[in-house]
Structure 1
Amino acid sequence: MNLIANVSIFILLFGMTCCKPKSGDTNQLTSKKNKSLPIEIPNVFPQEGLTDAHTIIANGRLYLFGGHDQSWDTDDTWRMDRWEIRSTDNLIDWKKEGVILPTETYIGDLPNCWAGDITERNGKYYWYFSNRNISTGVMVANSPIGPFTDALGKPLLPNGIIGKGHPYDPEIFEENGVYTMFFGAGHYYSVILGDDMISLAEKPQPVIVTTKDGKDKWTADKSTVFKRNDIYYLAWGANYAMSKQLRGPYIYEGDFLAGGHNNVFQWNGQWYVVTENKDISLFYRGVSLKPLFFNEDGTIDVPDDDADYPNIGRDWTFKHSKMGWNSLSGGTLDWKVGSVSGNIEGHTVIESSNWLITDLTKCKHLVLQLKNNSRSTQARISLALFNPKKGKYWSNPEIDWSQETQYDLDISSNDTDFKEYQIDLSQNMNLKSSLKRIRIEPALGVNTGSWEIKYIGFK
């Protein structure tokens, strides 16, 4: 539907700084308890597509293994073309140590590098990896940075090992020299690994998770398992359960820290979580680092301001690149640090990546900072929406823009400075859903000139 927005215009001088979004594109460190520790980084590897982080500490360094999303322009599934290894000795400065390619495993040349886990035994390092949601394999190396080789040349957990379930997303927990693997989705399984770490010592067994009143609790994929004091924790996404026994039964407790796939570790006496975020979109993600706190009874203390980056504060400041935006017509899309721009060579249209995952019901304004170097006096912003409660929404990436919400903006012409335009989203009763994609036509009705944008965001 077409809507003519009531737009408030605020003139911004070029050198001024816009209001900082609630969860902007930043590596800024924050601390909830004191100024030095613990460390919190909302987005550790901005615009690198590194996610599904798992960690191991060796020789005073933390090694992080993560899958890599193949392209920020993917709109139909999770395509992951490799695993990457990073390391740090302070949780702030990271070094890229190497990559593991699917062609080095039985997967072959397929973008199926889903989540894995890393562990060590007797000086050897074992990387358990997912072949998408089909199976789980194992690689081995003499160092946490590799080189890793496929230990079996076939799955350790083949398709069918748990009947109709999917044997993927491994999680390894070691206690008293016994290594137990958790895996699966919806209902988890656990299995003890053989002493050689590349075989199974038994048949996989179901992991029982129930609510406090004894009802079966459905879980998501990618389990996370850790122990503190005498309590075992089983977490998935933003949920967790507790048990006195490693292999359960687990009792569902409630909210874990917000985010997707996660991993828990200790560093200098502080508990931490690395968790998946939606950096660019649903299919081009990142890693958040958060401190983890506990209540006296052992339950998780979730801060009131905890959020899944970028939460409702999704914004584009073009600090790192023009990633996430394409030029569809009317000229190129150029980037310099802090803005994107283009010459007008006909009807100009730029468009964001798909599946932006922003809850518009919680957003009051859309903000655009534009410098219009043309005679145009109108711009248009279109928002494509989706309902995340209606099935597997990512299987329908197509958009009919004529049916989506459009805002026509009155803009000034021949600008010498940036100007800020705010669209009042609260006036549109149709925005009872989530954001799928944005389309911007920065200068309507002209064929010459140029434009520049330095900020697009939701507040």
Structure 2
Amino acid sequence: MITRALTAAGQTLILIASGLTIPASIASSPTPTFPDVVEHKNVAQPVQILNVFPEHGLTDPHVMEVDGRLYMGMGHDKTWNTETDWTMDRWEIWSTDDLTTWRKETTMYPKDTYIGEQPNAWAGDFAQKDGKYYWYFSNRNIDTGVMLAEHPGGPYKDALGKPLLPEGIAPTHPYDPEVFEENGTYTIIFGAGAYYAATLSEDMISLASEPVPIIIRTKDGKVKPTDDKPTVFKREGIYYLVWGAEYAMSDNLLGPYQYAGDFMGGGHGSIFNWQGQWYVVHEHHDISMYYRGIMIKPLIFNDDGTVNLANDTSYPEGGGRVWEFEQSVMGWRAVANTVVNWNSTGSISGNHKGPAIIESANWASADLEDTHLMITLKNQSDAKNLRIYLAEFITNRPEFWKYSDIDWSNSAQAELAIKPNDQSFSTYTLDLSTVDKLPNKLKRLRLEFPENVNSGTWEIESIYIQ
């Protein structure tokens, strides 16, 4: 990644990412193959990397440490062109001995388990015992299985050929497993809305106890509903139960837990101690809500054991949405009268064959309140304006992920005046507070050039919503 500055609305916006080394061999391909080694340079201590695997679609990270090396298992979002729902085609394991240089270890596919040919590679977690390594994996939100390996980096094979946690084992959806070891006892925690826990048997592939509920209560004694994605860690005698950006605390692993409030901003994640420093590793919406990424952030505690949120940082830094095209088209596609080409210099471009229309990936998931849209464009055509469309992401409707159609005619729209036949890049800024019907959150961004432009080229170096 690079350091870049641009002037917008009289201010300088500086985006700084860690020095990321990607082999030059991927720079010449419009759809680059992700490298097997990713290196982040010049990272301050304690380590904070807001995009560990940029534009690779990894999510749901869980970790284990083996002989001074950290292994991270993650699900992979199948494509940034997903229209609805979470479609995840595989799991990947990466490892590091310094948190900055990451090496790919193995890939695991649903077809190699009882799941079969289904893109159901939802979250998993590791465990290790007696020189063997286990990957407990979700079959979507249906059930949980387990794979076994002789090496932490794999290869892993289905240990049972059937679920370890089948449907109906508890009054919750038995997925998103979290495995916690203490004094040689392994506890598997799972569920959505309500969590359940069971003890694993000595063989690690069967249960030694029936699942029991984990109760979380608010300060006024009410039962606190949760989400999915539980993770547990212990610090100074206190057990922490984390789900997404919320957490609870207890003196006992099985609870009851006292709801503590907000956790570090992010999605499904894992917490670990590395060389005396606590870290959280969790997801963010890299390309979109359905093509996600991984953050590593230091985890700081207050004197009373609660989590210190004062220096929490989101991705992109400060929120919003960043398209920089350093490695790929970042999900952008042509809709009409043009193509979207990726240029290794860090831009996307195309020819005009009529009123050119291009769009971002769906589910851009960017908050739009008090923000500006900034686009750096080289317009080598007669176009004198560019129409901007901002489709609304309606998060409060039931099963919001099932609505894929967009009525562009009723979407928020604005027009930017641009320089015709420009020979260099120019940056244009739109104050989104001036746009009628502006949605609170962005689902998809569309750019449309005028109808009377039938020749020439366009090239975009970056688009920011910040």
Tell me the TM-score normalized by structure 1: 0.92
Q: Does 1:352 align with 2:349?
A: no
SS at match of 1:99: strand
Change (3 A) 1:253 1:141: same
How far apart, CA to CA, are the structure 1 residues paired with 2:261 and 2:354?
54
Q: Does 1:54 align with 2:56?
A: no
Q: Report Cα offsets for 1:213-262 as digits up to 9, x if no partner.
A: 11010111010100001100000011110000000000001111000001
Q: Does 1:392 align with 2:380?
A: no
2:342 alignment partner in structure 1: 335
How far apart, CA to CA, are the structure 2 residues paired with 1:368 and 1:306?
24
How far apart, CA to CA, are the structure 1 residues paired with 2:162 and 2:44?
46
2:35 alignment partner in structure 1: none
2:421 alignment partner, one of 408, 414, 419: 414
Q: What pairs with 1:74-85 in structure 2 (closer than 5 Å)? A: 74-85=82-93
2:166 alignment partner in structure 1: 158
How far apart, CA to CA, are the structure 2 residues paired with 1:400 and 1:429?
16
How far apart, CA to CA, are the structure 2 residues paired with 1:205 and 1:17?
54
How far apart, CA to CA, are the structure 2 residues paired with 1:234 and 1:152?
28
How far apart, CA to CA, are the structure 2 residues paired with 1:90 and 1:198?
32
1:319 alignment partner, one of 326, 329, 333: 326
Contact 1:212 1:251 in 2 (8 A): yes
How far apart, CA to CA, are the structure 2 residues paired with 1:236 and 1:109?
29
1:68 alignment partner in structure 2: 76
Change (3 A) 1:324 1:311: farther
Q: Does 1:426 align with 2:433?
A: yes
Contact 1:279 1:310 in 2 (8 A): no
1:203 alignment partner, one of 202, 207, 210: 210
1:7 alignment partner in structure 2: none
1:380 offset after TM fit, Å?
A: 1.0
How far apart, CA to CA, are the structure 2 residues paired with 1:407 and 1:228?
51
Q: Does 1:441 align with 2:448?
A: yes
Contact 1:24 1:315 in 2 (8 A): no
How far apart, CA to CA, are the structure 2 residues paired with 1:25 and 1:444?
38
1:119 alignment partner in structure 2: 127
How far apart, CA to CA, are the structure 1 residues paired with 2:88 and 2:191?
19
Change (3 A) 1:93 1:256: same
2:144 alignment partner, one of 136, 141, 149: 136
Identity of aligned residues (%): 52
Q: Report Cα offsets for 1:96-140 as digits up to 9, x if no partner.
A: 111011111100010000000011000000100000000000111
How far apart, CA to CA, are the structure 2 residues paired with 1:35 and 1:226?
26
In structure 1, stretches of 5+ residues that fail to align are 1-15
Q: Report Cα offsets for 1:375-425 as digits up to 9, x if no partner.
A: 121211111013322332221111011111111222211101111111111
2:310 alignment partner in structure 1: 303
Q: Report Cα offsets for 1:415-455 as digits up to 9, x if no partner.
A: 01111111111123522421010111145421111011111
2:239 alignment partner in structure 1: 232
How far apart, CA to CA, are the structure 2 residues paired with 1:408 and 1:233?
49
How far apart, CA to CA, are the structure 2 residues paired with 1:68 and 1:355?
17
1:171 alignment partner, one of 162, 175, 178: 178
How far apart, CA to CA, are the structure 2 residues paired with 1:198 and 1:212?
37
Contact 2:52 2:294 in 1 (8 A): yes
RMSD of Structure 2 on Structure 1 (CA) = 1.9
How far apart, CA to CA, are the structure 2 residues paired with 1:326 and 1:280?
13
Q: What is the identity, as a one-letter code, of the residue corresponding to 1:111?
A: P
How far apart, CA to CA, are the structure 2 residues paired with 1:368 and 1:36?
30
Q: Report Cα offsets for 1:349-398 as digits up to 9, x if no partner.
A: 101111111111242x1111111111121211111013322332221111
SS at match of 1:409: strand
Tell me the TM-score normalized by structure 2: 0.90
Q: Report Cα offsets for 1:278-329 as digits up to 9, x if no partner.
A: 0000100000000001111111111245335465331111111102100111
RCO (CA 8 Å, sep 6+): is it higher in 1 or 2?
A: 1
1:18 alignment partner in structure 2: 6
Change (3 A) 1:311 1:134: farther
How far apart, CA to CA, are the structure 1 residues paired with 2:439 and 2:334?
28
How far apart, CA to CA, are the structure 1 residues paired with 2:228 and 2:13?
29
SS at match of 1:430: coil
Contact 2:59 2:292 in 1 (8 A): yes
2:24 alignment partner in structure 1: none
2:155 alignment partner in structure 1: 147
Contact 1:312 1:362 in 2 (8 A): no
2:274 alignment partner in structure 1: 267
How far apart, CA to CA, are the structure 1 residues paired with 2:159 and 2:43?
45
Change (3 A) 1:17 1:25: closer
Q: Does 1:86 align with 2:74?
A: no
2:26 alignment partner in structure 1: none
Q: What is the identity, as a one-letter code, of the residue corresponding to 2:247?
A: Y
Contact 2:81 2:331 in 1 (8 A): yes
Q: Report Cα offsets for 1:160-204 as digits up to 9, x if no partner.
A: 1113x2000000000000000100011100000001000000110
How far apart, CA to CA, are the structure 1 residues paired with 2:155 and 2:350?
44
